[in-house]
Amino acid sequence: MVRTPLTRAERERGERLGALLRAARGERSMVEVAAAAGVSAETLRKIEAGRIATPAFFTVAALAAVLGLSLDLLADACDPAALSALD
C-alpha cells in the first residue's frame, strides 16, 4: 500500500499536537505516560516529535485522558483556522 505524502498543513498540525502533548506531559516520563495510555514509548516519542503527524484517534484519546486534556482542547489547538483567529 502506498501512502500519499502529508501536506505541509498536516505536518504542521502534527507538530502542534506533539508540542501540546509534550507540554502536558511535563515532568512525567515518556514511559510512564505511554504505559498508562496503552501505547509504546516509541509511539509517544514519534507523536511528540511530529513524526507521526496523523496518529490514530484512539491513540490521541488515550493520551488525552492520561494527560487530563479534553479532545476539544486538542482539536482547537491543532486547527489552523483557530490559530489564525488568535493573531
Query: Model confidence over 66-83: pLDDT tens digits?
Result: 999 999 999 888 877 654
What pLDDT is stored for residue 86 in this prediction? 43
Residue 35 maps to a domain: yes
Q: Is residue 1 part of a domain?
A: no
Q: State how far the alpha carbon of 83 is from the alpha carbons of 13, 22, 29, 55, 86, in Å.
A: 11, 19, 29, 20, 5
- Which H/E stretch holds residue 61? helix 57-67
- Is 28 contained in some domain? yes
Residue 3 maps to a domain: no
Digit-coded pLDDT (tens) for 24-70: 999 999 999 999 999 999 999 999 998 988 899 999 999 999 999 99
| Distance separating alpha carbons of residues 5 and 37, to the nearest angstrom | 28
pLDDT (0 to 100) of residue 82? 54
Residue ranges making up the domain that contains 36: 9-86
- Cell 488525552 belongs to residue: 64
| CA dihedral angle for residue 6, residue 9, residue 15, residue 21, rounded to 10 degrees | -110
Establish if 4 belongs to a structural domain.
no
Q: Looking at residues 17-29, what average pLDDT do you find?
A: 95
Q: Is residue 55 part of a domain?
A: yes
CATH number of residue 46's parent domain = 1.10.260.40
pLDDT at 4: 84
Q: Per the domain annotation, does 62 fall within a domain?
A: yes
Q: How many domains does the chain have?
A: 1
**Is the pLDDT confidence value at 1 over 70?**
yes
DSSP 14: H
